[in-house]
Amino acid sequence: MNARTDIDGLDAAPRAPARTLPHPTHKLKLLLKREFWEHRGGFFWAPIWAGGISLVFTLMALVMAEVGLRRTVTERGGIQVDGQVVVNGLDLSLVTDKMSPEDLQKLADGISLSTATAMVWPLLVLGFVVFFYCLGSLYDERKDRSVLFWKSLPVSDRDTVLSKAASALLVAPALAVAVGIACMIAFLLVLSVFVLIHHGNPFALLWSPGNLLANAGMAIATIPVYALWALPSVGWLMLCSAWARSKPFLWAIMLPVFAGVFISWFDLLHLFDLQSSWFWKHVVAHLLGGVFPGSWLGAMDLEGLNASRLGDHLAALKAVYSVLATPQLWVGAVAGVAMLAASVRLRRWRDDN
């Protein structure tokens, strides 16, 4: 009787809940966080340092311009503007009052272009960060043997490679663009102080909401174009990272270069009625330089942009997205996906022992 009671008690005991697998999107989110925290120096701090250095140089240039302007005023006894002599230096309000609407529009376009260039340094650093990140993404974990720990976790090689590729193609560009927009705003703040010193209205001269939002929107809108254009470069660099037993940098550089030299030496593309320069431009340059923003300029349709005025952001955006109509982008994207698939296979069985 007691035995029966014990059995009934065991049957009535609560059972442990079944273990559920994490959702694939949650797993990818965790992998992206892992990549960010392991490489936040390159993804986050490198663009900030580059933008900060550019702002320091801008401030130094403004200080030197101010010193030179005051020296000119002292030597000449003032600056003559439209027949009037300004003794205290440059009076921006007096200058802008004499400008025609066309001249004011040209000034606004020039300021918009100069504020957009404030984003150049963080985006330039982005190219170097992504290049060396991809080269070490699969090689470094084999070098320090941390790959043994990561393979012991319930994370497939496919998810690992895709998270690293997404970090290079989406996460790093998004952070660089965010830092670039912050640098653009800081650049406007520095210029506002200079304008205020010279009796100008910074809100009328600099802080045009249309230009500011258009520049920021333009930078954000180019992220998908960057991801597609850089896909073959990322795939090639990660393939070299997964395959090379040592010095992946030399393998990634020398293989395309030697292929270009071999093709140029024997003029092999002559069989397809192509010049050897085609291989250097569309293969070697794309594989090695596709991670740098703006490397797609050669494939853009610039006719509509040249015919428009400087501040036409819609024409500039249309010119950027004209790259999506080129075969080079889509052929490169397919090749990049194939090289990422090969990287998954290599990571699965690659063992440097």
DSSP letters spanning 77-132: TSEEETTEEETTS--HHHHHHT--HHHHHHHHHHHHHHHHGGGHHHHHHHHHHHHH
Residues of the chain with pLDDT under 70: 1-24, 73-99, 104-105, 209-210, 302-312, 350-353
Q: For residue 98, what pLDDT is reported?
A: 66
Of 71, 160, 140, 129, nearest in space to 348 by CA: 160
Token pair for 16: 């442990």
Q: For residue 324, what pLDDT is reported?
A: 92
Q: How many CB atoms lie within 10 A of CB 123?
A: 23
Dihedral sign of CA atoms 66, 67, 71, 72 in order: negative
What is this structure's pTM?
Answer: 0.83
Q: How many CB atoms lie within 10 A of CB 51?
A: 26
How confident is the model over 141-183, as pLDDT tens digits? 888 888 878 778 888 889 999 999 999 999 999 999 999 999 9
SS3 14: coil
User: 298-304: which pairs have CB atoms within 8 A and are 24 or more residues apart?
Assistant: 299/323, 299/326, 299/328, 299/329, 301/325
How confident is the model over 253-308, as pLDDT tens digits? 999 999 999 998 988 888 788 888 889 999 999 999 999 999 998 888 766 555 44
